[in-house]
Amino acid sequence: MPLLWMTLLPFLGSIALGTRYIIAPQKKNMLYPVLSCLVLLVSFVLAIGMAFSVLGSEEVIVFDIGSWMSAGTYNFRARLYLDSLSSILTLLVTGIGFLVHLYSLGYMHEDPKVIKYFSYLNLFCGFMLVLITASSLPLLFVGWEGVGLCSFLLIGFWYQDQEKSFAGRKAFIVNRIGDAAFILAMALALHAFGSLEFSAISPIASVTHEHFAYHSIGNIEWIAILLFIGCMGKSAQFPLYLWLPDAMAGPTPVSALIHAATMVTAGVYVLGRCSALYASAPMASHIVTIVGIFTAFFAATVAIFQNDIKKVLAYSTVSQLGFMVLAMGVGAYAAGIFHLVTHAYFKGLLFLGAGSVIHGMHHEQDIRRMGGLKSRMVATTVTFMIGYLAIIGFPLMSGFFSKDHILHHVSLTGNAWYFIIVLLSALLTALYMTRLIALVFLGSNTRISLVKAQKIHESPNVMLIPLWILAFLSIVGGWKFFSFYPVLEKLFPTHAHGHALWHMTETSVAIISSVLVLLVAGFSMRYFLKAPVVIDKTPSSLEIAGQRQWYVDESLMQFGRYAMASLSKISNFIEKIIVDGLIGNIKFVVMSFARGLSAMVTGIPQSYVFFLLLGIVFIIYFSIGM
């Protein structure tokens, strides 16, 4: 029952707030948003209680809702399933979800549609919990589509703005590509395994290939590849990352919860949940590795040139998701989920910190028009700096442990190119985040107009409390006492690798990466604090290309337009020439035949007698003569 109520409460909260908004949309009553926060708090308490039972043990909690649907001989049951992996994710969703709800009380206080906003947030958390606790792919897909719907609603929350409305539609449509592949993967899995329960498809603790011994390796590979395409859409991997940067059009707390800490990591969760499947699909795992490496590096190069504070963090999120996907590809499933958790801490902190900056600067988002905020927004500066140190992998911060685990596992593959590109991606993270810190919080505030400078203020405590909690987790989230890594390490199968690249140990990898990151951060800080920032200068061709994502977004959008135009012409040809032509020809033949028959109807008795005799002759000939 605690498992059921943990999942059900956010839906009930969403229904209550939605009903209140429908009845009286013009009346703003902050009691209902507070109720929305309490709902998540209760779910979080229930998640903690269940975590004590399942974390680190083989015990699972199952709630069987009942028979859901039937297809032929297949009967699908809806079951909520909580083991160590899903327990960690429920703590993340409900815990950070509660903090974002609390933060939103201050950030969205003046919005006239604040009740509708909190109704959507509750609905999202409910669907996310369904996704995490589902025991089968179909039930997971319900949560999968539900969080996609909520993402669409929240990205386009201020839909009166055409740009924000377009961003919501873009996210919805791009994700449909991945979802189509996900459905095909389910169809293949049902045909291959006769079930869509995770226990049948990919038992998470499986350390051998015996479970797949009687199945075609081709089927296993295709199921894994199609599932990954679905994950590419949700977890914003190249080239289906296009929607995530535009998703920053929504309110900043939405970016922190949905597009940094929870929903975008759903694809990584599915890869972890199906780890045994991928461990038996080497070609699919290789594809996962390549896509993850390229996404991590590509997004980091784009982040360097962004000037919108939320866009920098958006491309950073895409890059960090690349690290997680890469970890899954090389078989470091525990390290990938570990980075998912620590990333939720520090990226949630960074997005909420960015929201605090935007709130304090009255909706200014261009980092070139900021500077020197350290003296005016002290709490925001300190907490943001902690998030910065965590994401660049500063020693003993949470990101240091999770990212270096991934780097170490990449070195174990023995592929030098993999290791070099991933290390470069980590160094680029230090570069663009140092640029952000230097331009926003440090240096001079001379780029801020005098009128705006006088209005800058620190955020209220209801927004600062979540920042301090996430800052604490960003510091200690990788320490052994607070870390989930020991639990995860026992949970997942591991790939067998050869000798480590250049005989590096985990300690040497950590030392090398830390020294290089500190050098890049130090030189970058010195450069960006001294280099003059000219707001109105004409950007160079390199800057323009970087700001426009190396023209990838434009090229893919243009390709989409050409593809749609071509499909329209093809369908027009089929409809007008083939379909209409065929119908026209049939019509002509029938009408000609009808005219011939009508010519026989003359009204002359002799003609009818003639045709009657002719018919009798034919009947006699065919019945006797043949």
- Confidence label for 625 from pLDDT (cuts 50, 70 and 90): low
Residues 6+ apart with CB under 8 A from 126: 7, 8, 9, 10, 11, 14, 146
* Greater model confidence, 109 or 453: 109
Angle CA(414)–CA(415)–CA(421) in degrees, nearest 5? 135
Can you count the helices (H) and strands (E) in the chain?
Answer: 26, 2
- Confidence label for 24 from pLDDT (cuts 50, 70 and 90): confident
Do 45 and 98 form a contact (C-beta atoms < 8 A)? no
The Cα-based distances of 296 to 251, 302, 506 in angstroms read 25, 10, 21
pLDDT digits (tens, 9 = 90+) for 305-316: 999 999 999 999
Residues 6+ apart with CB under 8 A from 488: 84, 85, 88, 333, 334, 337, 338
Checking if the pLDDT of 209 tops 60, the result is no
Checking if the pLDDT of 497 tops 70, the result is no
At residue 205, the pLDDT reads: 62
What's the chain's average pLDDT?
89
Checking if the pLDDT of 100 tops 60, the result is yes
Nearest to 105 by CA among 37, 5, 54: 37
Q: Residue type for 13, please?
A: G
Mean pLDDT (whole number) for 408-424: 92
- Confidence label for 579 from pLDDT (cuts 50, 70 and 90): confident
The DSSP-derived string for 414-442 is T-HHHHHHHHHHHHHHHHHHHHHHHHHTS
- Confidence label for 496 from pLDDT (cuts 50, 70 and 90): low
d(CA 105, CA 117): 11
At residue 210, the pLDDT reads: 62
At residue 457, the pLDDT reads: 86
Checking if the pLDDT of 498 tops 70, the result is no
Nearest to 488 by CA among 61, 41, 89, 45: 89
Checking if the pLDDT of 584 tops 90, the result is no
Q: Which helix (H) or strand (E) holds 335?
A: helix 333-360
The Cα-based distances of 307 to 264, 345, 364, 370 in angstroms read 23, 24, 11, 11
**Percent of the chain predicted with pLDDT > 70:** 97
- Confidence label for 204 from pLDDT (cuts 50, 70 and 90): confident
Structure tokens at 565: 């135009």
Checking if the pLDDT of 454 tops 90, the result is no
pLDDT digits (tens, 9 = 90+) for 264-304: 999 999 999 999 899 889 999 999 999 999 999 999 999 99
d(CA 188, CA 201): 11
Q: What are phi and psi of 602, to 5 degrees?
A: -100, -20
At residue 437, the pLDDT reads: 94
Q: Give whichever of 167-176, 177-186, 614-623 has the largest mean pLDDT.
A: 177-186
- Confidence label for 558 from pLDDT (cuts 50, 70 and 90): confident
Kindly list the domain boundaries of the chain, sorted by start residue: 282-547, 559-625
- Confidence label for 492 from pLDDT (cuts 50, 70 and 90): confident
Mean pLDDT (whole number) for 80-104: 94
The Cα-based distances of 464 to 104, 164, 309 in angstroms read 11, 27, 19
d(CA 587, CA 13): 61
